[in-house]
Amino acid sequence: MPATPVYHYTNLATNEQIASLLPPDHPEMICLQTGTHVPETKYGLLGILAAIFWFPLGIGICLLDRRVRCTRCGLMIDEGICR
Ligand SMILES: [Zn+2]
């Protein structure tokens, strides 16, 4: 039975030492090692409708109803105020 490899990483964002079973080419580990994410902003349907029907006031609601997600590891960076 082969031994399970354990990888050691340093989280550049927090300088923490981390041992993980995930390989270095795993998306979560790439984000961890570079200390950055690849943010993608998505606007919620409510915010988009508000922007259309209550223009220009709705633009403010549109900006609040957004989610920022990392396209590489899928981490939710900013969930906005509406869920
Ligand atoms: Zn990420």
Domain count, the chain: 2
Pick from 74, 17, 11, 8: nearest CA to 40:
74
Is residue 67 located within the same domain as residue 31? no
Is residue 80 located within the same domain as residue 44? yes
- Which residue type sits at 33? Q
Is residue 52 located within the same domain as residue 20? no
Instruction: Give me the domain span that covers residue 48.
Output: 37-83
Q: What is the pLDDT of residue 53?
A: 94
Is the confidence at residue 9, as pLDDT, over 80?
A: yes
Q: What is the pLDDT of residue 61?
A: 85
What whole-number percentage of the chain has pLDDT above 70? Answer: 96
Q: How many angstroms separate the alpha carbon of residue 57 from the centre of ligand 1?
A: 33
Is residue 42 located within the same domain as residue 79? yes
Instruction: Give the span between the Cα atoms of 40 and 53, in whole angstroms.
Output: 25
Instruction: Give the span between the Cα atoms of 45 and 73, in whole angstroms.
Output: 24
Q: What is the pLDDT of residue 39?
A: 95
Q: How many angstroms separate the alpha carbon of residue 34 from the centre of ligand 1?
A: 9
Q: How many angstroms separate the alpha carbon of residue 13 from the centre of ligand 1?
A: 12
Q: How many angstroms separate the alpha carbon of residue 31 from the centre of ligand 1?
A: 5
Q: How many angstroms separate the alpha carbon of residue 19 from the centre of ligand 1?
A: 18
